[in-house]
Amino acid sequence: MPVLDYDTIRDTLRRILRQRGFREPDADLIATLCTDNSCAGVASHGVHWFPGLVKRTERGAVDREAEPVCEASLGALERWDGRHAPGPVTACRATDRAVELAGASGVGAVAVRNTNHWARPGWYGARAAGRGFGFICWTNTIPNMPAHGGSRPTLGNNPIVMALPGDPAPVVTDIAMSQFSYGRLNEHAKRGEPLPVPGGCDAAGRATTDAAAILRSGRLLPAGYWKGTALSFVLDVLAASLSGGACVAELAGPGEKGVSQVFVAFAMDSAHREHVLAAAAGLVKSDGKGRYPGEGSHATWNERRKTGIPVDDDVWEEILKL
């Protein structure tokens, strides 16, 4: 596994996108996002995610020339059509617009239809938090997770992010409604490593830590069982209703084409937020083992900026072939 410096990875990804007709600002954004995500320890939604974006673009599932547009302005809420533009580009613009609306009104929201996979959504949460705002965003997906007790996928695992400013790192919770994301399952299956706890069932319906068996069966466990099922359902209906877009029942694979997403930003009283965060984080850390969400990835990012970013050999070879 080669260890590469940040600039080498980002410049390589940017060059590939420019060669394929991506606009310079979009190529720079996507290359930075992918490199940041791997630098933070989330390779599955970083450098390893990148070849898939190129392939989806070549198949026409992603339109590199499209621009998301605002279809309706409803006070502090805007409804956008993503027009199948690159998911990270639309998500970043929606995040920035939600922050802008919140700066003017205290709260701002952008709901987007006809968009696609956004890579690691925690990146957008950290972006909004870095500007002093609280933030929530989520997406629906194709059916890729059974409801609690079910045997076939009828729900999306619908990742959600919640973030707010913090010191030294922003607080960022980035979780799917399945016990493990597909990215995490694929990473464990590729390396033949067991999951730390059961993440789904095999073809016989037995709970297992074998990621490959879970991917073959398609029987991911909802996080919190019935609780993850309920949250997935509500997030899907909310995203589709607010955006005027498709719900999970109307989405089909392969890939995440035509999904619905929501981005909400909140202005915050910084003094009170700092007091509350200090008290809450202090209690979490009081046993000497806890940490608040976002600390680990922030520390990993800082360390890898100095020492380099590990990338799987076969992934980097595939990228160089591009």
Can you tell me the distance from the alpha carbon of 123 to that of 25, in angstroms, rounded to the nearest whole number?
A: 17
CA angle 114, 111, 121 (to 5 degrees): 80
DSSP state letter for 193: P
**Are 251 and 258 contacting, i.e. CB atoms less than 8 angstroms apart?**
yes
45 in catalytic set: yes
The alpha carbon torsion through 244, 248, 252, 254 (nearest 10 deg) reads: 100
User: Which phi and psi (to 5°) does residue 180 adopt?
Assistant: -135, 145
- Active-site residue (options: 45, 84, 117, 298): 45
The stretches of the chain forming alpha helices (DSSP H) are 6-19, 24-39, 50-59, 87-105, 122-130, 182-191, 211-217, 226-243, 270-284, 295-307, 313-321
- Active-site residues: which are they? 45
